[in-house]
Chain A
């Protein structure tokens, strides 16, 4: 069962292949430590080509040196022929073995390169800023790892060796021909020129239509995908006729392009094959005529050999034209892959790191189980250590997702260690945006954010994020066991710590009731679990990480009040003793906060405790009493 030919992704169809991509791809092939093995492959390929050329040349030897003299001999002695056959057999065997070896080596080499490319791609993708993930579709990014890399497989394991082999065969066959008979070689050259001309013409034309076909196929498939996804809407709006009409149009375009592309592609083979046949016949006729006249020292054996050689020169020409479309496709895929690799990683100029240790009498010793400290190297070479406390302050922060549009204006806020800060405001007021700035998913335009007195730009991003826990409204879990998912918060957490975190998050109850308890395997989207249960796992995941600062995005309420109250209690447990930023939807959460920030259009318009704000009788008061709506 051969692997499916990779379908080129729709996005790759828009790429134009260029030499830079070729160079870079080749660099991947040769720089991956495959150099010596590739050298060996080259030797093996030469051996297989030699064997195939020898097999054609052998016919001449067989006829001229053995059969013809033997038929004339009164007492034919076949021992010479046996020896010759043994020698040729050995060459054949060498060719077969070389073929076996290089084919198998190319498999490991090409798959190795593919794995390398995939791994590099993924590792690089992990370093990209959140902004990149916001602005690129997931489907598109997934095809980097499947379709785009797969087009490369064909290129590396087939096209490259085939191309080399074909060129080599053409050269060697040509040399053999000239050696045997320059006259007959002239006939071959003329025919070969004709063949190349036709191949270039028809092949080029077919290539162009092949691309058009792929493009209209991608277009049609895109349309099908969109329409079938929206099929229920199509039904509800009785939009079937319109949807069918547009489909028919695209389907017809594809039909036309596919027909033209395939007619050209289909007739290329018979053309090459039969020009080969013509050459075969011409060689016999011309060779025959020449042999009769005794010109050029032509023997029957040479003619027979030539006939066979002419066959082995037609095949490589066909091969080259056959591989051309794969090469173009592979380059398009490679270009996309390299573009992703060229995307700029998240910038991190931080140098303040998070360490564990103990401070005694002004000297600091790093210890595995000690408390967390910020390790702050200074310009003069000295080191200072400051305990991780969870004090977060923002000063006059401005921010916009795009330079043209500022969405946060002059945000200033303080959160002392252990304080709860609640953000309240309408959708789009900027609540989530503020929290995204604290962990540096996005970088601020103007102003300052300080964490325990340190400018967060100076803190290494991984360390900054390790000190911040986060529970998002949309719960994302990973395929694996429940325990694995909780342990995601701290990879070296023991089983006891996992259970303890689950208990804290109020999740232990339902987990123990699962068929396999903590070892129950869940899929990434957690279909087996209810929304509430997934939230509980996410809370446990944050709890096991045990960070001093938490960012919580409360889920909007649902009718299922029972689970909701369980989740709520889990959240409350998690908040205890930490600095917390909460995007609040519940009055109870808001009322229990130390500070409430009321946001409107990216500005903090009111701040203070619940009692303060009630007394102030402004926006918050109106919201609380229901006299006003958030807008």
Chain B
């Protein structure tokens, strides 16, 4: 894991090494200053040697300036190193996601990937900055200050022998004691999010049932939970500060007492006493910082693991060695295809599919939710690879094609489709980035989108908000269809992509597709018999198997399942279907 992440440092390696290097130099200077100061007080001020004071004073000023310089340099390099590291890290994850197949994306889930690229990268970056600066600084400071204090006065530095364990043990108990509360706190935050999200989604239900007070009470419960866990956790955590003060003051008292005795006895000087007090602060602060870094690294570890999972994931699909660059026609064949999302040995969601679709035909696919309709068509543009058997497009195995060539020929309108922020034109040009305005309009006319686009004040230049939030569901689906049409595909797949479009418009779209794209193979997944009954043939899927195939008339005669569905939808249980007959 560390090797994977470390490789992201890339060209910022020099910065990453110089940063801790200058930190070390800075620490050396900082520890040196009190040491020299003791000398200055004892051999300059106490004895009254002005020349010595001036000499050491100059050296000390030089030390301070050097320390400033080193500190600034380490700050400079560490800023470059950590910003560069996180830049590379983001890029690596992003590139990796671009190379992912659908199966890889399924594995991590969309929110999972987003968290990794935002929060997790942030955590790891902060830990990285800490490591190249503070994680180097604190232990070295601790050791050097200890060494200097022992050299100043070995006997007096025994005070640290008592102080350090007290502080260390105290910090340990605080951190371990607070940890479980923080875990609970994060859960409580999730809970709060759920309550708010459900409330927002169901606000119409809340208002209809006049449950505003009930909801507020429910919310008060979770906000109370957060209050409880947060106060528990933080009350422990804020003990850090008084504990530190307690140990510092205790050490000061001990040093004052023993120091006074040593000085009176003549085994120590006043200057040494002053410097010892400075070292006390340096040593104890270092330990405190060290404990904080430790916690930070532990926290970042979970993020680092999640990121390296993405980086080490092998993209499932790869181009063949010498890929085919053209697709002959829009014919599709499934040869004994079986498919399991998790791979061989896992439950199959497609079983022994044999299917031939001639180029230019219109095929309807019917089946209830969970019958694997979408899975079936996703094998055609090779969004997944068949687990067994093979899928052929234009007479060749899909695995022989260059993926880009294949996917350019197979346009698919996904069930849950997305538009991107930008103008309508920009969104449409995803299909063909060189398309002329006239072509855009043509595609939109076919997809029944031209009318509503023109009703917008800015027409085709209307800005679409993220996720297409400012157009209705049906408008979004029609835009998505137009976008797919612009690819001028050999095969067009509509995966239940008109369910938010009213039935009449839906029928119009299907009619114009049939009329204007005779060459293109059209595969339509639908819930309503009416949407597919005019297809050249219809496939009925059930639990991943083809239970019936044929044209409408044949199926009405041969397939009981189809007949029942068709009749129940038609016999007046579905007014919408009746409308479009």
Contacts and interface: CB of A to CB of B under 8 A. Distances in A.
B502 A439 contact: no
21 contacts: A4-B123, A51-B249, A58-B252, A58-B256, A107-B235, A115-B223, A130-B204, A236-B383, A255-B86, A262-B78, A262-B129, A274-B64, A292-B50, A466-B210, A469-B208, A472-B204, A488-B211, A488-B214, A491-B214, A556-B576, A624-B578
A281 B56 CA distance: 9
Given A252-B87, A287-B45, A145 B196 contact: yes
B527 A123 contact: no
A81 B565 CA distance: 100
Nearest to B233: A3
A270 B61 CA distance: 15
A180 to B, nearest CB: 15
A238 B227 contact: no
A27 B420 CA distance: 42
Contacts of A93: 249
Interface string A76-104: 10100110010011001101110110011
Contacts of A112: 227
Contact of B295 (A1, A252, A270): A1
Main secondary structure of the interface of B (DSSP, over half): helix
Contacts of A568: 573
A112 B231 CA distance: 9
Interface stretch (A31-39, A334-342, A583-591): A583-591
Interface string B351-377: 000000000000000111100000000
A364 B318 CA distance: 81
A236 B414 contact: yes
B230 interface: yes
A243 B98 contact: yes
Interface in B345-402: 366-369, 381, 383
A524 interface: yes
Contacts of B522: none
Interface in B248-284: 249-250, 252-253, 256-257, 259-261, 263-264, 266, 270, 273-274, 277-278, 281
Contacts of A477: 202
Given A3-B185, A232-B102, A259-B83, A59 B277 contact: yes
Contact of B575 (A255, A266, A565, A585): A585
B270 A236 contact: no
B114 A225 contact: yes
Nearest to A301: B270
Nearest to B410: A236
Given A104-B238, A531-B369, A629 B46 contact: no
- For the complex of A and B, the 10 pairs showing the least CB-CB separation, nearest first, are A270-B71, A266-B75, A476-B202, A262-B79, A626-B581, A274-B68, A285-B57, A587-B572, A103-B238, A230-B418
B418 A258 contact: no
Interface stretch (A61-69, A367-375, A408-416): A61-69
Contacts of A631: 504-505
Contact of B216 (A119, A300, A470): A119
B209 A307 contact: no
Given A115-B226, A118-B223, A300-B46, A232 B414 contact: yes
Most interface-central of B197, B233, B245, B502 (chain A CB within 10 A): B245
Interface stretch (A17-25, A134-142, A381-389): A134-142
B197 A142 contact: yes
A479 B575 contact: no
B148 to A, nearest CB: 16
A427 B319 CA distance: 44
Contacts of A141: 196, 200
B179 A1 contact: yes
B83 A262 contact: yes
A228 B114 contact: yes
A629 B580 contact: yes
Nearest to B181: A1
A320 B198 CA distance: 41
A145 B99 CA distance: 36
B153 interface: no
Main secondary structure of the interface of A (DSSP, over half): helix
Given A226-B421, A427-B501, A1 B299 contact: yes
B239 to A, nearest CB: 7
A311 B227 CA distance: 37
B430 to A, nearest CB: 5
Contact of B209 (A2, A66, A488): A488
Interface stretch (B36-44, B329-337, B513-521, B546-554): B36-44
Contacts of A530: 369
A274 B238 contact: no
B189 A146 contact: yes
Given A67-B264, A273-B71, A476 B201 contact: yes
B569 interface: yes
Q: How large is the interface on A (under 10, 10 to 19, 20 to 34, 35 or more residues)?
A: 35 or more
Given A262-B78, A560-B369, 15 more contacts: A97-B242, A108-B231, A229-B110, A231-B100, A242-B433, A255-B86, A259-B83, A265-B75, A266-B74, A270-B74, A304-B41, A308-B278, A558-B369, A585-B576, A629-B507
B446 interface: no
A630 interface: yes
A289 B175 contact: no
Contacts of B46: 300
Interface stretch (B2-10, B155-163, B435-443, B466-474): B466-474
Contact of B53 (A226, A244, A285): A285
B75 A138 contact: no
Interface string B273-301: 11001100100000000001001101100
A300 B270 contact: yes
B50 to A, nearest CB: 6
Interface string A217-230: 00011101111111
Contacts of B326: none
Interface string B101-121: 110010000100110011100
A479 B260 CA distance: 68
A111 B230 contact: yes
Contacts, number: 477
Interface in A200-248: 220-222, 224-240, 242-244, 247-248
Contacts of B467: 226, 229
Contacts of B417: 233
A245 B148 CA distance: 54
A270 B25 CA distance: 12
Nearest to B118: A221
Most interface-central of A3, A85, A244, A265 (chain B CB within 10 A): A3
A311 B279 CA distance: 13
A585 B574 contact: yes
Contact of A587 (B75, B266, B404, B578): B578
Contact of A557 (B239, B383, B576): B576
B18 interface: no
B407 A259 contact: no
B198 A476 contact: yes
B119 A81 contact: no
B97 interface: yes
Most interface-central of A55, A222, A541 (chain B CB within 10 A): A55
A413 to B, nearest CB: 20
Nearest to B91: A251
Nearest to A259: B83
Contacts of A127: 212
B295 A96 contact: no
A365 interface: no
Contact of A291 (B45, B196, B487, B528): B45
B110 A478 contact: no
A631 B448 CA distance: 12
Contacts of A281: 33, 37, 57, 60-61, 63-64
A85 B86 CA distance: 52
Given A225-B114, A255-B87, A270 B503 contact: no
Contacts of B264: 67, 70-71, 76
A97 B418 CA distance: 59
Nearest to B503: A630
